[in-house]
């Protein structure tokens, strides 16, 4: 009898320990998964975590119809493709179908509506409605823009190859700017040159005279599947003194000013957003924004200058500010 009791006790305590170990592992896994989520702003948390709603007609994607994929702001899971998006006039982005298996429907506590959440991380997206007749799917996913991120389709339909994107930055001597961008993830090529002035095919000597209106700059070609324009712009701000108003370091003159030359509204908005972030941090940002004009390639001896000469920049160094 004593042996039977001991065996039962061993089984009980053994199961208890096993359950505790399992619980601890689950807790560790949960913590790990949470750590892998993207960091959210307080307003993003209000909507995505606490199931709030952004004001109608204020979201970034309400009237946005570029070709690409909408992914979860919290975990980057693909949720909707652009061909499922339509204009409903409700004030929020509308989709008539999700990517299969990526969006979960959950009844609201009061049973009046059906909530939609990311099936991967549980992020609140919005609500789903049926029977309205907007499209032949007869379904409307009413989604908060703030719950989404958009990834532009960069595939060339004819060749199947990934389309690269370009960016132009001016942050002082273009030798040093190019040095850091050549090392950046996703950058396919760089070229230094002149932009912003009134003279065609300017020479280095003419630009240095200050009579052409041109500025030393770098044109960066990057793979949007490996990096983003925002990451490129962040690097730009972190490798030069964007608060200096008369040049960069010891290089003084209009050809060394801090400027971003944007190709489209999306690049402009990204640059403006980052400048606001820096301003909110207390920096007096001197960087100007201008629509990109003709980029004139600099002389060959300026291209990949530090790589050819084995030196390092004298007035550029990376400093984390984001």
Res 66: pLDDT: 86
Rounded to whole angstroms, how far apart are CA atoms 35 and 114? 28
Rounded to whole angstroms, how far apart are CA atoms 260 and 257? 10
Res 68: pLDDT: 86
pTM over 0.75: no
Active site residue 142: yes
The one catalytic residue in 118, 121, 173, 208 is: 173
* Contact by Cβ (8 Å): 115, 127: yes
Res 267: pLDDT: 95
Rounded to whole angstroms, how far apart are CA atoms 197 and 215? 7
Rounded to whole angstroms, how far apart are CA atoms 219 and 20? 57
Range(s) within the chain of domains with CATH label 2.170.150.20: 43-152
SS3 220: strand
| CATH 3.40.50.150 assigned to 165-309 | no
Tokens in use for 187?
A: 């950058």
The one catalytic residue in 72, 118, 121, 142 is: 142
Res 156: pLDDT: 63
Q: Kindly give the pairing relationship between strand 94-95 and strand 85-86.
A: antiparallel
Query: Any idea which residue has 């709030």 for tokens?
Result: 52
Residue positions counted in the chain = 322
Q: In what order do the strands lie in the sheet with 94-95?
A: 85-86, 94-95, 139-143, 124-130, 114-118, 103-107
Range(s) within the chain of domains with CATH label 3.30.1060.10: 165-309
Ranges of beta strands (E only) in the chain are: 68-72, 78-81, 85-86, 94-95, 103-107, 114-118, 124-130, 139-143, 148-152, 165-171, 187-195, 215-222, 247-248, 251-252, 258-262, 288-291, 296-297
Which architecture characterizes domain 43-152 according to CATH? Answer: Beta Complex (2.170)
* Contact by Cβ (8 Å): 80, 96: no
Rounded to whole angstroms, how far apart are CA atoms 157 and 231? 26
Res 32: pLDDT: 37
Which residues neighbour 264 within 8 Å (Cβ) at sequence distance 6 or greater? none
Q: What are phi and psi of 50, to 5 degrees?
A: -95, 10
pLDDT tens, per residue, the chain with 322 residues? 444 444 444 444 343 333 343 334 334 333 334 557 999 999 999 999 999 999 999 999 999 998 889 999 999 899 999 999 999 999 999 999 999 999 999 998 888 899 999 999 999 999 999 999 999 999 999 999 999 999 877 666 566 666 789 999 999 999 999 999 999 989 999 999 999 999 999 999 999 999 999 999 999 999 887 889 999 999 999 999 999 999 998 999 999 999 999 999 999 999 999 999 999 999 999 999 999 999 999 999 999 988 888 788 888 989 999 9
């Amino acid at each position: 009898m004593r042996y039977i009791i001991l065996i039962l006790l061993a089984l009980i305590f053994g199961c208890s320990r096993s359950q505790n170990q399992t619980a601890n592992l689950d807790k560790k896994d949960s913590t790990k998964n949470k750590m892998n989520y993207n960091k959210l702003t307080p307003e993003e948390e209000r909507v995505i975590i606490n199931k709030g709603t952004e004001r109608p007609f204020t979201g970034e994607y309400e009237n946005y119809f570029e070709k690409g994929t909408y992914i979860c702001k919290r975990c980057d899971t693909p949720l909707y493709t652009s061909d499922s998006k339509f204009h409903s006039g409700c004030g929020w982005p509308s989709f008539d179908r999700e990517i299969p298996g990526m969006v979960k429907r959950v009844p609201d506590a009061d049973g009046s509506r059906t909530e939609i959440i990311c099936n991967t991380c549980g992020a609140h997206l919005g609500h789903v409605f049926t029977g309205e007749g907007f499209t032949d799917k007869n379904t409307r996913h009413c989604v908060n823009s703030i719950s989404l991120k958009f990834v532009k389709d960069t595939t060339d339909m004819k060749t199947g190859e990934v389309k690269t994107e370009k960016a132009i930055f001016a942050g002082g001597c273009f030798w040093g700017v190019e040095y850091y961008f050549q090392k950046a993830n996703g950058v396919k090529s760089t070229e230094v040159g002149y932009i912003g002035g009134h003279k065609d095919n300017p020479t280095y000597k003419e630009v240095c005279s200050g009579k052409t209106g041109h500025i030393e700059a770098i044109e960066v070609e990057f793979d949007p599947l490996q990096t983003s324009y925002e990451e490129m712009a962040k690097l730009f701000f972190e490798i030069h003194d964007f608060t200096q108003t008369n040049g960069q370091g010891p290089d003084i003159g209009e050809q060394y000013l801090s400027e971003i030359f944007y190709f489209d509204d999306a690049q402009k908005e990204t640059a403006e957003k980052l400048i606001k972030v820096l301003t909110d941090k207390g920096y007096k940002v001197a960087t100007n924004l201008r629509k990109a004009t003709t980029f004139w390639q600099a002389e060959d001896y300026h291209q990949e200058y530090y790589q050819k000469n084995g030196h390092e920049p004298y007035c550029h160094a990376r400093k984390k500010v984001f």
